Structure 1
Amino acid sequence: MAIQPKHVFASLPLMERGVAKVLGGDPKGNNFLYTNGKSVIIRNIDNPSVADIYTEHTHQVTVAKYSPSGFYIASGDVVGKIRIWDTTQKEHLLKYEYQPFAGRIRDIAWTEDSKRMAVVGEGREKFGSVFLWDSGSSVGELGGHSKSVNSVDLRPVRPYRLISGGDDSVVAFSEGPPFQFKFTLKDHINFVNCVRFSPDGSLFATAGAGGMIVLFDGKTGEKVRVLGEDKAHSGGVYAVCWNSDSSQLMSASGDKTVKLWDVSSGAALLTFNMGNDVGDMQLGCLWQKDHLISVSLSGNINYLDRNNPDKPLRIVKGHSKSVHCLTTHKSDGRTTIYSASHDGHINYWDSDTGDNDCLRGKGHTNQVSKMVVDENNQLISCGMDDTVRFTDLKTKEYSASAVVKMDSQPKCVSTAPGGLTLVVCIDLVVLLKDKKKVFTLDKLDYEPETAALHPGGTTAVVGGADGKVRMYSVQGGSLKDEGRTLEATGKVTAMAFSNDGAYLAVTDEKKVLRIFTVADNYAIKDDFYGHHAKVVSVAWSPDNEHLATSGIDMMVYIWTISDSNKLKKITDAHRMHHVTSLAWVDTNTLVTTSFDACIKQWSILY
């Protein structure tokens, strides 16, 4: 049996209100870069569903930039580590690693010959460094600042100049190499968020939290003009980007607009209105080839349309926060993947193309813990907002009426024919029929952790923290305790009946997968061992002969029911994170997700 990666549906950028997001552009024009958690995401700019992920940082990555040659990428993290790695091979081999200072790195710049780098951020005693990329040797000092530095850039032509802007509201101007501080520019009255040289080096632009964008001479640092008279935007400006011939500038602002500017006159040519919600604040931008791209606070990546500034050509959606549960649904010959994240966001993906969108309307306000699809094509989801929601998958829109409020936080949901839904809450087990509570088990002498309804709808099993699986018969609108328990080897973590109802799979914190045979009065068929830590998720394949488990050991195992010796594993499926949820597209395709907010598909050959 062989397992190969099939698709990666990448996460969105991880955004923070009031903090600029740097997008890195490929000098060859093919890709663009951003960061989320410990990952650097590389996406094809023409087809953003094509993505690659670099996962070698051990701490949160904050910024990544291509070298002008296009052969290397430099990425920096929150502890001040810079990793320089290869772009030409899929393995992305590490070339060099440095730590120019101790603290969050906020921006990186290269000289046009790809030999020197400038790095700035939140260092304790120093806020930046300039060094040779292949040795780490210093090529000057970055001075002029008394607080953290947010942005840096190097003049792309000789004579070289270095500019930097920081929380002290000044822009520092340096000459070199070796680079030496010359003077500060004090035109901004608030934080300086972004500084960028034009491609021809004749000008540089500085943008600040006060809404101003100021242009200066690229060689001398003399002030040339202010864009838009006094202010370019009514909110803070977080990013600016030049077009290839240095004649126009794009700016992204917290006032929820992106603007195009004519550099020679200082006038706005076009204003893109991105929306009215807080999530529509614009915190980053990139101008690459004919693509105008901005990033919203929500994490959405917007491809702007010059001909229709009020509606983007494309909005790339997905998750920016950790994903905790998955399910799949087949309709009209196509399989859709549903994924839900820590912030309550539910997204759906075409399993073949990666085309995706989010459910419309107001849904969960907190983490979604579990999702299933019932016989009526409804997505049933439970979350930490103490609700269970029923969403029609034809409309893909939340219903204000199809919501059941729980008396305590739900942890698990299962479904069976006849409109039955079983919900495990903290200290409660609730049976729903046709979206209404019909029976509640409370005052329990055990702590329920997870549950499953048999596909026949006649039996419910509830797994407890005491390592026992209690059996209930479903009689009309009630649950009757059968007075029988099945034994696991430890606290039950996940359970699932096979699709044909022949087997029950139970996993526990003692790393054991136990299979019970339903027709044999739930006799133990086999125990499967392999995980090195608690198992957290289990999913049956459509053929009922295979099932997948994931654990906090960061391993995924594919088991064969008829032969316990036939197993394969996916090591580091989501590097540095354990797999939080599993689902099957078909018998040969497994879907996984994790805290990296990415969705991955794996091809399995038995």
Structure 2
Amino acid sequence: MSFKAISLFPCHPATTRGEATKLSSSKDRIVWTNGRTVIIRDLKNPSQVIANSGHVQAATVARVSPTGYYCASADAAGTVRIWDLVGEDNVLKAEYKVLSGRINDLEWDGDSKRIIAVGDGRDKFGHAFMMDTGSSTGEVIGHSKVINAVAIRHQRPFRAATAGDDTTIVFHQGVPFKYDKTIKTHTKFVQDVRYAPSGDHFASVGSDAKVFVYDGKTGDTLGEFNDNPHTGSIYASSWSPDSKSLATSSADCTVKLWDIETKKAVTTWKVGSGVNHQQVGNTWTAGDDIVSLSMSGDLNIFDKRSGERPARILQGPTKSITSAIPTPGSDTFIAGTAEGRILSFSGTEYSLIEGQGHSSLVSGLGLASSGDVYSTGYDDTLKEIDLKGSSFSQASTATASQPKSLAIGSDNTVFVAEIKGVEVIVSNQKVHELQTKYTPSSVAAAGKIVAVGGEDHKIRLHEWDGKTLKEVALLEGNKGPVGAIAFSPDGALLAAGDSSGKIILFDVEKRASITSRWSFHSGRIHSLAWTADGKHCASASLDTHVYIWSVAKPMKNIAIKNAAPNGVNAVFWLGDTKLASAGADGCVRTWDIKFHV
């Protein structure tokens, strides 16, 4: 048995209220960070995605070198990693600890040889160094507070501009980089500074909602863009490939396009209203796409020639995917996240399930034979989702205690395992509640049999007669709290995974263990999924690995090591040989599995 990686569906950028999120681009590729992961996605070819999770701490910014051969990424601990983009392995070229605190931004020079990284530190707020040796290439000084952004002129003579929380911009001569002068145009935090591709100008934006443009060689202030200005903090700016226009993204939920020569706003795009539509980052691709980031994580793509709204909106998870299941159709699935959002996936893109959703972590998803999806969340609710309408229905049921898992019977009966017991819900009405002396942690259903895994390391089998749950058997053998259980499609077998990483396979009719050899995981089992023929079972674990087990040959397995950084939370089949895994990094990966006879 063997496997091959097929595709990766990436998470979207992580955002923080009141802070800018750094986006960058290289040709038609957008670059962003989320957690420890750096994502590089091709807008023209969505299947071309790179995810690199080499950072130990949360990554904060990443930029591709002008040559396109390397990517430099930085994290919250002050480390810069430079890695290869040629080939699939993304080989690490160098790693440097350049600041003692968080790095907010970095920039390459025009030769792809030097890098300036800026942010927060005890002894300094910025560092200039050679990408191949790490040796210093000058000083980044002049600021008294955290530096938020840096820009380097790509033409000789090199120049650099840094912007900080001390409301100033510092202009540097180079190379080696050295202090030239301090520019005091803004009255509040300066959020971003960017050089035009031509090198003739650079622009700055800040929390004072102002935009200024400067001479690229001398640093002299050329003027302010005060025609139809923004009304909120401006978090990001980016230049057009021809250096004639500037795009700015603001907390007033708008993106503006400015003409450099006239210093006037040519176009204003209103994205929406409310906190989720605040614009906190942007980039302008070489293919002439303006991409602006909403606080919600949506990537809004604008056409500079037309429209009052985004031409396209890319949606995706911004937090860990906590639950995921396949849905009817080819390569379609639905995923719930740690922030309570639920998204459906079809083709190459996600779409958000609209309506009154969950306000916190989605703990379970289940597909009924009717085609409707049910979800539970840590907001103590059970909700119904209309997949055809891609929205939550009006139906919502409050649970007695925090739901940990849900299962759906063949007659669309919903069983919810909660901290204090198991509730049975039919047509959004509670029809039965089973109080337990133990704490349930997982539930599965097959026909009239309902299995409940507990924190006491045991599994109880119940019969559902339409009115009550009657306990009929007790299954033992697990070494920790049972976090995931799953019946085979015919209901004859039951797989149970626990917090120690052990999986026990039970014969349901005989109420006996078949094998306890599925024990290669070293962390909590989060999810189990059977193939349609019931011959193999896939498992996802906190140890970052996915295993596919054989019923006929218990010692034979396929090991997909390091399937997702920080753990795999869900695993499900999209076909007879196509497996999908959803990780704590918010990404979904698919794998082609070869079952050799």
Q: Which category describes the TM-score, using the shorter chain as reference length?
A: over 0.9
Query: Which residue of the other structure, out of 157, 172, 175, is the alignment partner of 1:174?
Result: 172
Mapping 1:221-232, distance limit 5 Å: 221-229=219-227, 232=229
Structure 1 residue aligned with 2:573: 584
Structure 2 residue aligned with 1:451: 443
Find the aligned partners of 1:221 and 1:114 in 2 and give their Cα distance.
23
Question: Equivalent residue of 1:330, what SS?
Answer: coil
Find the aligned partners of 1:218 and 1:307 in 2 and give their Cα distance.
27
Please tell me whether residue 108 in structure 1 is matched to residue 101 in structure 2.
Answer: no
Change (3 A) 1:307 1:173: closer
Q: CA deviation at 1:415?
A: 0.7
C-alpha contact 1:66 1:73 (8 A) present in aligned 2: yes
Structure 2 residue aligned with 1:142: 140
Find the aligned partners of 1:530 and 1:109 in 2 and give their Cα distance.
44
Structure 2 residue aligned with 1:79: 77
Query: Which residue of the other structure, out of 394, 398, 401, is the alignment partner of 1:405?
Result: 398
Query: Which residue of the other structure, out of 334, 344, 349, is the alignment partner of 1:348?
Result: 344
Structure 1 residue aligned with 2:20: 20
User: What is the CA RMSD across the aligned residues, in angstroms?
Assistant: 1.4
Structure 1 residue aligned with 2:333: 337
Structure 2 residue aligned with 1:600: 589
Query: Which residue of the other structure, out of 402, 417, 422, is the alignment partner of 1:424?
Result: 417
Q: CA deviation at 1:89?
A: 1.5
Please tell me whether residue 562 in structure 1 is matched to residue 552 in structure 2.
Answer: yes
C-alpha contact 2:579 2:592 (8 A) present in aligned 1: yes
Q: CA deviation at 1:54?
A: 1.0
Write the letter of the residue equivalent to 1:340: G
Sequence identity percentage: 35
Find the aligned partners of 2:185 and 2:500 in 1 and give their Cα distance.
63
Find the aligned partners of 1:507 and 1:488 in 2 and give their Cα distance.
10
Structure 2 unaligned residues grouped into runs of 5+:
none
TM-score with structure 1 length normalisation? 0.95
Structure 1 residue aligned with 2:87: 89
Find the aligned partners of 1:534 and 1:599 in 2 and give their Cα distance.
19
Structure 2 residue aligned with 1:369: 363
Find the aligned partners of 1:67 and 1:232 in 2 and give their Cα distance.
33
Write the letter of the residue equivalent to 1:403: S
Find the aligned partners of 1:257 and 1:209 in 2 and give their Cα distance.
14
C-alpha contact 2:478 2:503 (8 A) present in aligned 1: no
Query: Which residue of the other structure, out of 381, 387, 390, is the alignment partner of 2:381?
Result: 387
**For each residue in 1:443-479, what CA deviation from the matched residue of structure 2 results, as whole angstroms up to 9, or x when unmatched?**
x22221112222x2x2222112222212222122211
Find the aligned partners of 2:411 and 2:478 in 1 and give their Cα distance.
33
C-alpha contact 2:315 2:349 (8 A) present in aligned 1: no
Structure 2 residue aligned with 1:511: 501
Structure 1 unaligned residues grouped into runs of 5+:
none
Question: Equivalent residue of 2:276, what SS?
Answer: helix
C-alpha contact 1:370 1:411 (8 A) present in aligned 2: yes
Question: Equivalent residue of 1:279, what SS?
Answer: helix
C-alpha contact 2:375 2:384 (8 A) present in aligned 1: yes
Find the aligned partners of 1:515 and 1:217 in 2 and give their Cα distance.
71
Structure 2 residue aligned with 1:212: 210
Mapping 1:62-73, distance limit 5 Å: 62-73=60-71
Aligned length: 592
**For each residue in 1:54-106, what CA deviation from the matched residue of structure 2 results, as whole angstroms up to 9, or x when unmatched?**
11111111001111111111111111111111111111111111111111111
**For each residue in 1:522-562, what CA deviation from the matched residue of structure 2 results, as whole angstroms up to 9, or x when unmatched?**
22222222122332221111121110112222221100111
Find the aligned partners of 2:15 and 2:482 in 1 and give their Cα distance.
36
Q: CA deviation at 1:308?
A: 4.1
Structure 2 residue aligned with 1:535: 525
Find the aligned partners of 1:206 and 1:290 in 2 and give their Cα distance.
21
Structure 1 residue aligned with 2:269: 272
Farther-moved stretch of structure 1 (150-159 vs 502-511): 502-511
TM-score with structure 2 length normalisation? 0.97
Please tell me whether residue 132 in structure 1 is matched to residue 126 in structure 2.
Answer: no
Structure 2 residue aligned with 1:287: 284
Write the letter of the residue equivalent to 1:102: S
C-alpha contact 2:241 2:288 (8 A) present in aligned 1: no
Write the letter of the residue equivalent to 2:372: Q
Question: Equivalent residue of 1:182, what SS?
Answer: strand
Find the aligned partners of 2:501 and 2:66 in 1 and give their Cα distance.
49
